[in-house]
Amino acid sequence: MFSYSSPAIATYLNIASPRAACVNGSKVAVLNSEGVWEVENGVKKLIPNSYHDARDCAAIDGKTYVLAVPTGLVKIKTDGTTQKIVNSVAKSRTRVKFLGNKWVVHQSVNTLSIYDTNLNFKAKKDYQVTEVTDFEYKDNYLYISGFQQQKRSGIPVQIAFLYRVGFDGTSIFKLPNLPGNNQGKLWGYNPTSLVDNMADTRLNRLYISGDKLYVLGSVYGGNSIYRWNGKDLFTQTLITTDKYTNAAQTRDETKVYTGVIDLTSFTVERGQLSLTRLPSTGGLGDSNSNFPKTIYSDGTDIFVGSNAAYAIPNRDSQIFLGKPIAPYRGDASFLIFPNNLKTRKAWVTPGNGEVLLFNNKFALIKTGNVNDLPTNSGTAQILPTNTYFIKF
């Protein structure tokens, strides 16, 4: 296993105010107001004529990207050639992915639009929910996550959902009518059934590896639907290993939920919460917030990027690039689990910042106004809001 505290490369990129990032083989694309930057081994290159207003990106192949922009989608080559533009006004909350090696899927708030690799339109579906947050595709199924703002007895509650719907290349089907309990849906309960499961929940990110779907959610409280298996409200699935996975003595601070779903049975196998704790001489200590950002799995381990309030376990004794972590101002957080989620392999921070991307090869961090993440030389630099690249 590689070392997270001493990566192969850790360097400032001087890409100001990054918005988003995506992986393209051995490269990482970073979006900001100047356009699309490609980064490889810590060296950056701006794609000429790339779009300054891009909000998300997906790599089609080593030389082609699809960008989500305010006017829809743009397909560009790495030489700066625009190949196609699709006009479809997108709201501010928008994502694009290249899935199944054949579909470009574009999300705008609660609408999914599907195109082939030439951006020829295939299908569109508007989901009557508060927001669709992410989507994945495998074996003619789309997996769609998000949340719905509901009320129970006049009390507002956000309820996370995961849908599994059919897609045959031209039509997105409704929730499939299959034998068994909730085959086309996990979570997404009617609010009248929640009883004491009234903590707000959202399902933020999805990632498929093999026959598993890895999900990343947020929960604002302790008593939530994530305690259960997604199909009923009595079958326990959460793994508790220490006070940083135990929601006892917490309130509505944001907590990270990581779950593993078996795609064959479409069942939640298990989940784990990740929350921070304020230092305490007794008891568990007051809880603090942890905000989910990214999830990835290589089939062996799960990699979760988050932004952690003070403090993750052993925060002030951690070392990154041979130097102690700088005083806290909001931590970039790297969580690593085995893919069965029964333990936690590591929880580390390189210092202050916001995680844009984290997997088993790369990490990208958006740093604060004063950049005190150590470089390879150990020299702190003062820069505007910027980008820090790590290669493991």
pLDDT for 369 beyond 60: no
Q: Residue 32 and residue 356: Cα distance in Å, rounded?
A: 12
Q: Residue 290 and residue 331: Cα distance in Å, rounded?
A: 9
Split at pLDDT 50, 70, 90, the class of 171 is: confident
pLDDT of residue 2: 53
pLDDT of residue 370: 47
Average pLDDT score over residue span 13-20: 92
- 64-73, 190-199, 369-378: range with lowest mean pLDDT: 369-378
Q: Residue 304 and residue 356: Cα distance in Å, rounded?
A: 11
pLDDT single digits (tens) 317-340: 998 888 888 888 899 999 999 999
Average pLDDT score over residue span 384-391: 84
What is the average pLDDT value for the chain, to the nearest integer? Answer: 91
Best CA proximity match to 243, nearest among 203, 284, 193: 284
Q: Residue 15 and residue 36: Cα distance in Å, rounded?
A: 10
Split at pLDDT 50, 70, 90, the class of 58 is: very high
Token look-up 């956000």 returns: 158
Split at pLDDT 50, 70, 90, the class of 285 is: confident
pLDDT of residue 385: 73
Cβ neighbours, 10 Å, residue 48: 12
pLDDT of residue 3: 73
Q: What are phi and psi of 193, to 5 degrees?
A: -95, 0
Determine contact, residues 368/329, Cβ cutoff 8 Å: yes
pLDDT of residue 179: 47
Split at pLDDT 50, 70, 90, the class of 176 is: low
pLDDT of residue 324: 87
Determine contact, residues 1/337, Cβ cutoff 8 Å: no
pLDDT of residue 384: 60
E strand intervals along 275-386: 276-277, 287-288, 290-297, 301-308, 319-320, 323-324, 331-338, 346-352, 354-358, 362-366
Question: Helix or strand or coil: residue 352?
Answer: strand
Question: Helix or strand or coil: residue 228?
Answer: strand
The pTM score is 0.94
pLDDT single digits (tens) 136-154: 999 999 999 999 999 999 9
Contacts of 43 (CB under 8 A, 6+ apart): none
Q: Residue 81 and residue 67: Cα distance in Å, rounded?
A: 13
